[in-house]
C-alpha cells in the first residue's frame, strides 16, 4: 500500500469520527507525500501543525493502525506542501464504520440528545402530537398587523447565515424541525444561554423559514420589553380585549427575553392566558431567556411550569473552530478577505460571546477599509489591542525586533537585511525563534516579516536557537532576558 492509497481511506475514516467543522478546518488542508521510505503528512503552516499534532494526530495514527498493513512505513507530520487527495467514496473498507457515511438528520440529532438525557430527566407533560398547518383562510384586512410583526424579523438572521458548531448543533436541529412542523413535539421551545450567544438569531431563523414554507402563516417576533409595553398601554387605554385578539391571530409566537415580564403581575397574568391559548390550539410558542425557567426570579410559578413542559435547551459558548468559522462567514458576507492567521488571532483572544466576536470583526473590517490594508494578523493585532490587553499583552513582530535589536545593540534593519555575519545572524535567529513562540504567525509569515525569507530559513533558525539553549548557558540566559523584556 502507498500513501496515495492509504490517505483517502484515512480521510474517509476521519470524516466519520470528527464533526464537519473540525474536518473542514483541520483535516481537509492536509497534504501527503513519501520520502526515504517514510509516509509524510504536511500542514500548510506552523499554527495548523501544532493544533493537528495535539488534537488530531492520535486519530490519524489510530486510522493507520486500522486501515494500513502492519508493515506500512512510519507516518510523520511536517510543515510543507505535498499531494492533495480527496476522501474515499462510499466503497470504504469493512473496517470503516459505514453506518456514519451520511450526516445525521435533524430528528436523529434531536433523538440522540433526548435519549442521552432521558435517564435523568423528569417526565414532562406530553406535548401535542398533531401538527396542523397554520390557518390560511384569513381575510386580507386582518393580515396587516401580522405582517408588521413579521417584519420585525431581521433579514440577516436566517439559517443560511448561522454557523453551526458543538455549542448549538442540537438546538439548530430542533429549530429546523420546528420551522417545518410548528406546534408539534417541541412546544413550547425554551432556549436559554448567557447573553450574546445567538438566541435571537436562531429563533428568528425559525420564523423566516416558516414564512418561506408557508407564506400565509402569521409570525410574531416580540421582545419581552415590547410585550410589557403593550400590556401597559392596554391597561392605560382599557383595551385588553383588542390586545388579546391581536396576539391570538398568530400561528407562531416568539417572545425574546421573556425574563423582562417577571415581577409584572398583570403582564404575567395576560401572558399566562395567551400561552394557554397557543398551547391548546397547538400553535407554536418559542421563548428565550438568560436563565432556566425555574431560575427566573419573580416569574409566576404557573408560567415556570408551562415554560418547562416542552423542550428546554441551552446554547453553549462557541468553541475555537466555530469562532473561526463565524469570522470567515462574516468576512464572506461582508465581501472582504480575512487572512487565516488573522482569523485565528481574533478567535483565540475574543472568546465567550458571539456578539463580542462580531464586534471585533467589525472593528477590524473598518480598520481595513479606512487604511486600505489587508486584514492580516498585524492589522487585527493593532485594531484589537485594547480589547485583548486586559487578558493578553499583544506582542507583535515589531516589538520583538525592537527588543532584540536593543539587547544586542544592532539596528532593526540588520534583522531584516541581507548581512549574514555572526553578530547579525544570531540575533536574527533569536528574533525569529521568539516570534514563533510569542505570536500566532505562521512560518511563512515570519519569514516574510524578516526581509522576505523562506519558511525553511525560519525553521532552521528555530532549531538552531533551541539547540543552543540546551548547549549554551549564555544563549539560554539571553533568551529568558528577552522574554522578560518583551512581555513587560
| Binding site feature residues for ATP | 196, 198-200
Rg of the chain in Å (alpha carbons): 29
Angle between helices 422-438 and 455-471 (to 10 degrees): 100
Q: Cβ–Cβ contacts within 10 Å for residue 460, how many? A: 14
Cα–Cα distance for residue pair 146/181, rounded to 1 Å: 20
Residues annotated within the binding site are: 196, 198-200
Are the C-beta atoms of 24 and 77 separated by less than 8 Å?
A: no
Where do runs of H (alpha helix) occur along 249-353? 265-280, 301-307, 320-334, 340-349
Torsion angle of the four alpha carbons 417, 422, 423, 428, in this order, in degrees rounded to the nearest 10: 50
Cα–Cα distance for residue pair 230/224, rounded to 1 Å: 10
Pairing of strands 38-43, 31-35: antiparallel
User: Residue 93: CB partners within 8 Å, gap ≥ 6?
Assistant: 9, 67
Angle at 377 between CA 373 and CA 381, to 5 degrees: 95
User: Residue 18: CB partners within 8 Å, gap ≥ 6?
Assistant: 27, 56, 59
Sheet holding 284-289, edge to edge: 219-223, 252-256, 284-289, 189-192, 311-314
Are the C-beta atoms of 182 and 284 separated by less than 8 Å?
A: yes
Angle at 356 between CA 351 and CA 358, to 5 degrees: 110
Cα–Cα distance for residue pair 377/399, rounded to 1 Å: 14
Amino acid at each position: 500500500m502507498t500513501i496515495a492509497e492509504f490517505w483517502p481511506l484515512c480521510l474517509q475514516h476521519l470524516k466519520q469520527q470528527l464533526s464537519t467543522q473540525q474536518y473542514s478546518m483541520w483535516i481537509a488542508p492536509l497534504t501527503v507525500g513519501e520520502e526515504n521510505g517514510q509516509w509524510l503528512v504536511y500542514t500548510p503552516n506552523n499554527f495548523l501543525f501544532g493544533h493537528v499534532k495535539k488534537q488530531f494526530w492520535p486519530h490519524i495514527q489510530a486510522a493507520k493502525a486500522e486501515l494500513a498493513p502492519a508493515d506500512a512505513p512510519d507516518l510523520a507530520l511536517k510543515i510543507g506542501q505535498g499531494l492533495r487527495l480527496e476522501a474515499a467514496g462510499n466503497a470504504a473498507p469493512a473496517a470503516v464504520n459505514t453506518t456514519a457515511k451520511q450526516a445525521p438528520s435533524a430528528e436523529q440529532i434531536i433523538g440522540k440528545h433526548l435519549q442521552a438525557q432521558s435517564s435523568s430527566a423528569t417526565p414532562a407533560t406530553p406535548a401535542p402530537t398533531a401538527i396542523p398547518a397554520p390557518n390560511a383562510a384569513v381575510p386580507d384586512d386582518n393580515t396587516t398587523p401580522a405582517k408588521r410583526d413579521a417584519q420585525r424579523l431581521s433579514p440577516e438572521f436566517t439559517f443560511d447565515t448561522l454557523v453551526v458548531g458543538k455549542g448549538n448543533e442540537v438546538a439548530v436541529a430542533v429549530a429546523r424541525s420546528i420551522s417545518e412542523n410548528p406546534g408539534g413535539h417541541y412546544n413550547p421551545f425554551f432556549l436559554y444561554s448567557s447573553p450574546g450567544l445567538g438566541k435571537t438569531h436562531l429563533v428568528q431563523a425559525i420564523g423566516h423559514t416558516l414564512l418561506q414554507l408557508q407564506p400565509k402563516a402569521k409570525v410574531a417576533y416580540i421582545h419581552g420589553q415590547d410585550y410589557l409595553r403593550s400590556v401597559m398601554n392596554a391597561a392605560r387605554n382599557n383595551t385588553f380585549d383588542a390586545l388579546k385578539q391581536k396576539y391570538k391571530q398568530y400561528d407562531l409566537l416568539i417572545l425574546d427575553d421573556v425574563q423582562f415580564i417577571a415581577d409584572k403581575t398583570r403582564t404575567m397574568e395576560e401572558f399566562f392566558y395567551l400561552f394557554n391559548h397557543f398551547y391548546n390550539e397547538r400553535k407554536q410558542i418559542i421563548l428565550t431567556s438568560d436563565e432556566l425557567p425555574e431560575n427566573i426570579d419573580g416569574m409566576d410559578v404557573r408560567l415556570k411550569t408551562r415554560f418547562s413542559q416542552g423542550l428546554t435547551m441551552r446554547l453553549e459558548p462557541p468553541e475555537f473552530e466555530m469562532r473561526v468559522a463565524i469570522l470567515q462567514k462574516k468576512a464572506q458576507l461582508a465581501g472582504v478577505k480575512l487572512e487565516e492567521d488573522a482569523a485565528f488571532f481574533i478567535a483565540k483572544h475574543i472568546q465567550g460571546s458571539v456578539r463580542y466576536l462580531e464586534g471585533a470583526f467589525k472593528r477590524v473590517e473598518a480598520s481595513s477599509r479606512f487604511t486600505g490594508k489587508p486584514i492580516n494578523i498585524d492589522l487585527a493585532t493593532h485594531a484589537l489591542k485594547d480589547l485583548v490587553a486586559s487578558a493578553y499583552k499583544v506582542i507583535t513582530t515589531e516589538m520583538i525586533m525592537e527588543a532584540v535589536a536593543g539587547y544586542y545593540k544592532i539596528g532593526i534593519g540588520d534583522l531584516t537585511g541581507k548581512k549574514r555575519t555572526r553578530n547579525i545572524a544570531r540575533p536574527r535567529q533569536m528574533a525569529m525563534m521568539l516570534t514563533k513562540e510569542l505570536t500566532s504567525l505562521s512560518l511563512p509569515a515570519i519569514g516574510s516579516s524578516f526581509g522576505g525569507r523562506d519558511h525553511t530559513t525560519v525553521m532552521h533558525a528555530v532549531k538552531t536557537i533551541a539547540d543552543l539553549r540546551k548547549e549554551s548557558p549564555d544563549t539560554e540566559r539571553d533568551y529568558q532576558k528577552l522574554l522578560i523584556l518583551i512581555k513587560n
